[in-house]
Amino acid sequence: MKATYLEPAVGQYLLAHTARPDELLDALALETRELMGERANMQIAPDQGRFLTMIAQISAARNAVEVGTFTGYSSVCLARGLAPGGRLTCFDASEEWTAVARRYWEKAGVADRIELRLGPAEVRLRELTGGPPVDLAFIDADKPGYPVYYEILMSVLAPGGVILVDNTLWSGRVAHPNERDETTQVMREFNDLVMADPRSTSIMLPMADGLTMIRKH
């Protein structure tokens, strides 16, 4: 489990009562750690992976989008929860990191339902305009890009569609006014923007580094 806002014993208990990742996800987490070292911390936590799969299942997502794929952990989790015939479109700037994701999509048997679009997400996400409405999206990329990604996704999201956003508690720093570094300010502004948006309703969950769930009216 990653950063948790629970006392350690409660966090351990929670993890012990959350379905474990399977061997494939464990192998992906291990390989990412071996290949990327500290950068592996960018990967979502196992409980978040479970959550993504469940949300995809519960929402019967048919057209899902991910912004920030890295080595593929969250995309495998999302793809596994899609409704039959569902599609996941992944956006990422790194060919190198997503090469690992592509391998795991094959191994997981979900490669046929995932399309990867490489390049700056701010540019490539706009290609979704005019296409089928998106019913589920997950944002987990560069933090300064969040407001633009949110805006583009809201414009293509179906009514009732959901956007999940990672790292919205930013290690808890957003809650402390004396924390004034640039990324903390960016996350605060993003969280305020979502709260003030009359087009949606949101809930911030203290899962991992903070996960906000936003539902478009």
Ligand X SMILES: C[S@@+](CC[C@H](N)C(=O)[O-])C[C@H]1O[C@@H](n2cnc3c(N)ncnc32)[C@H](O)[C@@H]1O
71 contributes a contact to ligand X by CB under 6 A: yes
Residue 208 contacts ligand X per CB under 6 A: no
Position 121 contacts ligand X (CB under 6 A): yes
The answer to whether 170 contacts ligand X (rule: CB under 6 A) is no
Which of 21, 25, 29, 43 is close enough to bind ligand X by CB under 6 A?
43
Q: Which amino acid, residue 168?
A: T
Exactly one of 4, 21, 25, 44 binds ligand X (CB under 6 A); that residue is: 44
- Site for ligand X contains 207 (CB under 6 A): no
Q: How far is the CB of 182 from ligand X (least distance, A)?
A: 15
**Does residue number 120 form part of the binding site for ligand X (CB under 6 A)?**
yes
| 127 contacts ligand X (rule: CB under 6 A) | no
Rounded to whole angstroms, the Cα distance separating 146 from 93 reads: 15
The CA distance from 129 to 1, in Å, is: 36
Considering the complex, state which of residue 75 and residue 191 has its C-beta at the smaller distance from ligand X: 75
CB 150, CB 202: distance < 8 Å: no
- CA dist., res. 57 & res. 182, Å (int): 36
By CB under 6 A, the count of residues binding ligand X is 20
Measured CA distances, 136 to 55, 83, 171, 173 (Å): 9, 11, 25, 28
The region of 10-18, 57-65, 141-149, 171-179 touching ligand X under the rule CB under 6 A is 141-149
3-state secondary structure 56-116: HHHCCCCEEEEECCCCCHHHHHHHHHCCCCCEEEEEECCHHHHHHHHHHHHHHCCHHHEEE
Q: Judged by CB under 6 A, does residue 74 bind ligand X? A: yes
Of these, 94, 171, 183, 200, which contacts ligand X (CB under 6 A)?
94
CA distance 53 to 76: 9
Mark the segment that binds ligand X (CB under 6 A) among 1-9, 88-96, 106-114, 186-194: 88-96
Residue (51 or 91) nearer to ligand X, CB: 91
Q: How many CB atoms lie within 10 A of CB 193?
A: 13
Residue ranges that bind ligand X, judged by CB under 6 A: 42-44, 68-71, 73-74, 91-94, 97, 120-121, 140-142, 145
